[in-house]
Amino acid sequence: MNTCPNKQDEVKKLFSSCKTAEERYELIISLGRKLPPMNPLYKTPENLVEGCQSKLYLNFSIINNTLHFECDSDALISKGLAAILLLLYNNESPEFIITHPPVILSDLNIFASLSPTRAHGLKSLFLKMQKIALQYLV
Three-state DSSP at 62 gives strand
Output DSSP code: residue 73.
E
What DSSP assignment string belongs to 53-74?
Answer: SS-EEEEEEEETTEEEEEEEES
Given 4, 18, 52, 71, the catalytic residue: 52
Give yes or no: 18 in active site: no
Cβ 46 vs Cβ 132: under 8 Å: no
- The catalytic residues are 52
